[in-house]
Structure 1
Amino acid sequence: MLDMTMSDLDWGNQRVRLISKGSREPEWVAASSEFFHWLRLYLTELRPLSPLGALWLTTRGTRKPMTYTTLRAVLTRANQKLGTNLSLHDFRHTCAMRLANDPTMTLPDIQRHLRHRDISTTQTYLRARSEEVAKRVQAHHHALSQPHPTPPERSDTSPSWQYDPQDLLLLLGPEAPQ
């Protein structure tokens, strides 16, 4: 991600091109509208920016391409200020957890977005949230306590249902069999 340039942004389709860690192949992945909002604000401050130059630049001292070491230093300073212990990979886990908790996302979709080779890696993010489980269990018990409609009794001499003669008259006219 640190090697991104302006050519790695697809504003219209809200995607970014990333280099996969394992295969080193570039792949387009979806990004949120919030990402593009904050990116626009960031880029407004950095003008002018070269189309093929580094996208992520340092903002302290002379502007130069951000390196992994520089980004770790930024995160270290943020952790010290906030009293947290976040790592860069925590942001990826947060994304994965949010996608896994969205009932409209399928596991293969999440696997593809995270670019996991094996779906079992993606499954580790499937964790039932207590409040959601409680709602589903309560709905289950509520459904069991509701009376179930009983089918009409059937006699061997007559069918279990019949057409209403008035309906037949309306649909087929006066020649309808009664």
Structure 2
Amino acid sequence: MPDEHPGRDLKSFVLPEIGQLLETKDPWEPFQLLDPFGKPVQPAAVYLKDMMAADSSPLTPRSYGMDLLRWWRFLWFFGIEWDRAVRGDARDFMLWMKLADKPARVHWRHRGKDPTQIPQPRTQADRPAPGTANPVTGKPTVGKKYAPSTRAHCETVLRTFYDFHLERNTGSLLVNPFPLVRNRRSSRTNEHHNPEKEFQRQRTGLYRPKVPKRIPRRIPDEKYTEVFAGLRSHRDRALLAFWVATGARAEELLTSRQADAIVGQQTIGVIRKGTREYQELPSAPDAFVWLRLYQEEAWKKGVPRGRTQPLWWTLRRPWRPLEYDAARMMFKRANEVLGANWTLHDLRHTATFLLLDDPSMPAVYVQHILGHKYLSTLDIYNRPTRDDVITAGLAHHARQQHRRESPSSAPPAPAYNPESLNVLFGSRLT
């Protein structure tokens, strides 16, 4: 089968919004990849079911399903069968993800309408351009292109998807269109590795991009106070206080029940994201104060009360347990007051920095609180942050400026000590 497609125009290609990834609310099959006619895509369904059997998180099929949907839309547009795709198709797809702009999402209220009748989103003149650094946090804003991490994740998903079906001998699939790096397929990985050194993470996919290492960012104390002051309810203040005090992930804290907040022991229980195990985390007294204020206010309004009831609820009727997307939008609104772009995960980084800054707090305890499998995961917090580097650099220039403005004269040479000379050369020098 020919591998080249000289007539394929990728510059004007726009990924069509056909098909969908449907959330079924069924624990046996939480997500389904549907074709343009609403029928399930069987190769993807088998792959996601096998992933669920491997004890993956329920959110993993959603992440993998979005990458499969993007690839299937590419195949549907060019009329390619999934088991007939060749390396040239994979190359064009990854090249398009690298150079093209991300397709603009159409709100579900505007789907099927005339594009000229869709109102344009309001933009602020002082808002930084997409992909540039935020003036408050220094973090880059969401750009128009696909991020390297997104492209790397997509390449890994598609390569493992085709490896899975090659092992099962599905359809007419003969080769994986997403191959490994050529010079690595002919030899054993790390065959010349020095056993005294750690193994390095290597790129395995031919079309896998290089992903820059991310440096965790903390929210400065003064900025955290401003964000906290911009919150609108006791519930939001309690959530923020618990996130910074416990270091729990955003979705982990939302799994807590009302019986999990034990004021006497000053702990709160959460369900860990990876292991799905229950763990009690120590927290600060202020967090329980805000929690009590929130509960008294919520129970008066009629929020369900009980030991097995969720701890966090929406602020308006009908009462529903608070979900991650709603909590994320809450924190985003508080950020917009300052013009910042911190995320909920930055609160976890802030809590980690606060724990590690305490010399009396052993690192192995911090590892257990954060739920990390390896202690070496904390090494990323030993790297200097952007704020630390800038602060140290400015202090260096200030010291240099101070030396130039007030040069100090060299101290005069001290006179010889006669007693020392007498010891060396005798008393005749005196």
d(CA) in 1 for partners of 2:291, 2:263:
10
* Offset of residue 61 of structure 1: 4.4
Deviation at 1:127, TM superposition (A): 5.6
1:20 equivalent in structure 2: 272
Matched position secondary structure for 2:382 = coil
Q: Per-residue CA shift, 1:3-62, capped at 9, x if unaligned?
A: 211111121111111111110011111111111111111111111522211111111443
Distance 1:114 1:105 in 2: 13
TM-score by length of 2: 0.29
Query: SS state of the match for residue 268, structure 2?
Result: strand
**1:121 is the counterpart of 2:377:** yes
Runs of at least 5 residues in structure 2 that lack an aligned partner in the other structure: 1-252, 392-430
Deviations 1:100-136 (A, max 9, x none): 00111111111111111111112322367799xxxxx
What's the offset of the Cα at 1:98? Answer: 0.3
* RMSD (Å) for aligned C-alpha atoms: 2.2
1:62 aligns with 2:318: yes
Corresponding position of 1:92: 348
Q: 1:28 to 1:22 in 2, by over 3 A?
A: same
State the identity %. Answer: 35
4+ long deviations beyond 4 Å: 127-131
* Aligned residue number for residue 357 of structure 2: 101
Residue of 77, 82, 85 corresponding to 2:338: 82
Q: In the aligned structure 1, how far is the partner of 2:339 from the partner of 2:297?
A: 28
1:31 aligns to 2:287 (yes or no):
no
Q: Which residue does 1:43 correspond to in 2? A: 295
CA distance in 1, matches of 2:379, 2:365: 12
The one-letter amino acid paired with 1:45 is E
Distance in 2 of aligned mates of 1:74 and 1:62 = 18
Does the 8 Å CA contact 1:100/1:126 hold for their aligned counterparts?
Answer: no
Return the match for 1:6 from 249, 258, 268. Answer: 258
Taking structure 1 as the reference length, the TM-score comes to 0.67
Q: Which amino acid aligns with 1:34?
A: D
- 1:137 counterpart residue number: none
Structure 1 residue runs without a partner (length 5+): 132-178
CA distance in structure 2 between the aligned counterparts of 1:122 and 1:59, rounded to whole angstroms = 36
